Amino acid sequence: MECIFCKIINKERPSEIVYRDEKILAFKDTEPKAPVHILIIPQKHIPSVDYLGKEDRELIGELCLVARKLAKEYKISGTGYRLVFNVGKDAGQTIDHLHLHLLGGKKLPWA
């Protein structure tokens, strides 16, 4: 399995993990675009939002709940934050393992 995020899940690659449960993992982005930049991923390998099935409904909801919890922990709930799923080439998706970006800690530029 060549997927870099699967390697992080399997501890074959180092990362700064900030949350883990049986289905989800969250770790710091190595090239942060904001003071808080965390990636929240399912442990199940799904290439992108475009590959989600109905059976993933609950999982995708849980990613958002973990994002909300981490936003509280990192004290950006009050000032606001952005959640992003990049999907495919035009959105600039570079890693084909579904990930939710949690960004905050500064006024975020838009497009």
Binding site for ligand AMP (CB under 6 A): 4, 15, 27, 29-31, 39, 86, 92-95
Q: Does 45 bind Zn ion (CB under 5 A)?
A: yes
Residue 29 or 56 having the CB closest to ligand AMP: 29
Residues 6+ apart with CB under 8 A from 26: 17, 18, 19, 20, 38, 39, 40, 41, 66, 70, 102
- Locate the DSSP E strands across the chain: 17-20, 24-28, 36-42, 81-84, 100-104
Residue 72 in tokens: 């509280």
**In this structure, what DSSP letter does residue 30 have?**
S
Tokens 């509280």: give the residue. Answer: 72
Q: Quick one: CA torsion of 57, 62, 65, 67, rounded to 10 degrees?
A: -110
Q: Residue 29 binds which one of Zn ion, ligand AMP, none, with CB within 5 to 8 A depending on kind?
A: ligand AMP
Q: How far is the CB of 76 from ligand AMP (least distance, A)?
A: 17
Q: How far is the CB of 39 from ligand AMP (least distance, A)?
A: 6
Residue 10 or 78 having the CB closest to ligand AMP: 10
Q: How far is the CB of 15 from ligand AMP (least distance, A)?
A: 5
Q: Residue 31 binds which one of ligand AMP, Zn ion, none, with CB within 5 to 8 A depending on kind?
A: ligand AMP
Residues with active-site annotation: 99
